[in-house]
Amino acid sequence: MTEYWVSQGNKWCDLCKIFISNNPFSIRTHELGKRHKDNVTQRLSTMQKDGAAKEKEQQQAAKALQLIEAKAKKSYQKDLENNQRNTDGDSSAAPGEGLFL
Ligand SMILES: [Zn+2]
């Protein structure tokens, strides 16, 4: 997952935001270094946190949407019933009632 691009004999470490010498020894030394490892750990935990938060958000959004749809359907049916019952013009039903969670 570490990505490098080569430029004029140097490699760019995207995690550490630095160039390192483009030879196997330097690269290996860099990848085994504390700074790089810290950055890898940080990047991983950030990604996991983001992923978990996003998943939770999506689940909550889906749940909220289901609730809204269910309530809207119920409210719509209630409106229909009210309309059928109150054909004489008695509009006591509050508009949008039950739409909010
Ligand atoms: Zn690095």
Task: For residue 8, report the distance from its CA to the centre of ligand 1, in Å.
Answer: 18
Q: Is residue 12 part of a domain?
A: yes
The per-residue pLDDT of the chain, averaged, comes to 85
pTM of the model: 0.49
Using DSSP's 3-state secondary structure scheme, residue 36 falls into: helix
Q: Is residue 77 part of a domain?
A: yes
Task: For residue 77, report the distance from its CA to the centre of ligand 1, in Å.
Answer: 61
Residue count of the chain, please give it. 101
Q: Looking at residue 85, what is its pLDDT?
A: 79
Domain coverage including residue 23: 6-85
Handedness of CA 94, 78, 76, 61 (dihedral sign): positive
Task: For residue 45, report the distance from its CA to the centre of ligand 1, in Å.
Answer: 16
Q: Looking at residue 45, what is its pLDDT?
A: 94
Task: For residue 52, report the distance from its CA to the centre of ligand 1, in Å.
Answer: 25
Q: Is residue 100 part of a domain?
A: no
Task: For residue 22, report the distance from its CA to the centre of ligand 1, in Å.
Answer: 13
State the total domains in the chain. 1
Residue 54 falls in which region: left (phi positive, over 0), alpha (psi -120 to 50) or beta: alpha
Q: Is residue 66 part of a domain?
A: yes
Q: Which residues of the chain have pLDDT under 70?
A: 1-8, 87-101
> In angstroms, rounded to a whole number, what is the distance separating the alpha carbons of residues 60 and 66?
10
